[in-house]
């Protein structure tokens, strides 16, 4: 029997043969590699991971907040990008020590979405993003995109990535109950790919991706391309940290990306 390496999926090993298929739900058999026999998936965050849009989100939130008289330092907004919108606004109110009613929150969210779309007319993919997805497809490796954003804000980014949400697996905020750092987006993505999060890779630029990875037994891979520091991502659980998709593509073989038959 081979050792317990990066790629923790074992196909047809003695002990797993004939066992029930693994549940894709978080917590299902975490840590027991003998029970894992589903293919390893590559589950990507979108903003700051595949497209260079984090700083546009930061600016859109900052302008939307200031328009409503809400002053929050820009770096504090930056560090919240990628978390669930509900948690974002809850933490916002806690930090500003004032409450915002449901109408105010809706205005904020709508204004952010409008400003973001305005800023993102020609947001480029991050270096290597298109090539990385193509390489995974070419190798027959399952991949999906799972974003805390709604389809309304995600669709322009998907277009710049040359990803058709009708053909690829794309999970948005609209499709699950809870967004990051809850793992639902990644769990749903794995489910649609016919595999499990357990032992799969979650690739993202923010600590919210890394926390969500931990919660569903996935292995976190961090990218610096969203503007976090390496150490922030590692402390949040990233097993590896790369600059961006181009850097991950160079190191892809180190992730043991083997297809399962």
54 and 205 Cβ atoms separated by less than 8 Å:
yes
Asked if 244 is part of the footprint of a second copy (rule: CB under 8 A), the reply reads yes
Q: How far apart are CA 77 and CA 58, in angstroms?
A: 6
Per DSSP bridges, beta strands 170-171 and 201-204 are unpaired
Nearer to a second copy, 47 or 182 (CB): 47
Least Å distance, CB 58 to a second copy, is: 6
Least Å distance, CB 129 to a second copy, is: 11
Nearer to a second copy, 144 or 236 (CB): 236
Using the rule CB under 8 A, which residue among 46, 54, 64, 141 binds a second copy? 54
- Near a second copy by CB under 8 A, which window of 109-117, 151-159, 163-171, 229-237? 229-237
Asked if 73 is part of the footprint of a second copy (rule: CB under 8 A), the reply reads yes
- Near a second copy by CB under 8 A, which window of 49-57, 145-153, 177-185, 249-257? 49-57
71 burial level (CB within 10 Å; 0-12, 13-18, 19+)? exposed
Nearer to a second copy, 52 or 182 (CB): 52
Rg (alpha carbons) of the chain, rounded to whole number = 19
Closest CA to 126 of 17, 233, 234, 204: 204
**How big is the site for a second copy, counted in residues (CB under 8 A)?**
25
Nearer to a second copy, 174 or 231 (CB): 231
Closest CA to 46 of 145, 127, 117, 122: 145
For the chain, the first-to-last Cα distance in angstroms comes to: 19
Least Å distance, CB 161 to a second copy, is: 15
Least Å distance, CB 50 to a second copy, is: 12
Listed in sequence order, the DSSP H helices in the chain are 54-67, 74-78, 85-96, 102-119, 129-138, 151-160, 184-192, 207-215, 230-235, 245-250
Task: List residues near a second copy by CB under 8 A.
Answer: 48, 52, 54-55, 58-59, 62, 71, 73-75, 78, 124, 126-127, 224-232, 244
């Amino acid at each position: 029997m081979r050792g317990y390496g990066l790629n923790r999926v074992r196909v047809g090993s003695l002990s797993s043969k004939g066992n029930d298929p693994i549940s894709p739900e978080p917590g299902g058999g975490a840590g027991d590699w003998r029970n894992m026999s589903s293919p390893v998936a590559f589950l990507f965050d979108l903003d700051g991971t595949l497209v260079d849009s984090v700083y546009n989100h930061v600016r859109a939130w900052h302008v939307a907040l200031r328009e409503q008289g809400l002053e929050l330092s820009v770096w504090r907004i930056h560090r919240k990008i990628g978390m669930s919108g509900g948690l974002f606004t809850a933490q916002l109110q806690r930090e500003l020590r004032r409450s915002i009613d449901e109408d105010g929150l809706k205005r904020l969210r709508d204004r952010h979405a409008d400003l973001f779309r305005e800023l993102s007319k020609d947001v480029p993919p991050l270096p290597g993003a298109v090539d990385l997805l193509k390489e995974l497809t070419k190798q027959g490796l399952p991949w999906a995109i799972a974003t805390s954003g709604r389809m309304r804000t995600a669709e322009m980014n998907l277009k710049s990535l040359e990803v058709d949400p009708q053909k690829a697996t794309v999970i948005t905020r609209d499709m699950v109950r809870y967004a990051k750092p809850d793992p639902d987006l990644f769990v749903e993505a794995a489910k649609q790919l016919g595999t499990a999060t357990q032992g799969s890779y979650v690739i993202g630029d923010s600590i919210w991706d890394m926390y969500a990875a931990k919660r569903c037994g996935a292995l976190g891979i961090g990218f610096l391309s969203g503007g976090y520091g390496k150490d922030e991502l590692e402390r949040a659980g990233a097993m590896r940290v790369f600059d961006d998709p181009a850097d991950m593509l160079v190191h892809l073989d180190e992730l043991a990306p083997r297809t399962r038959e």
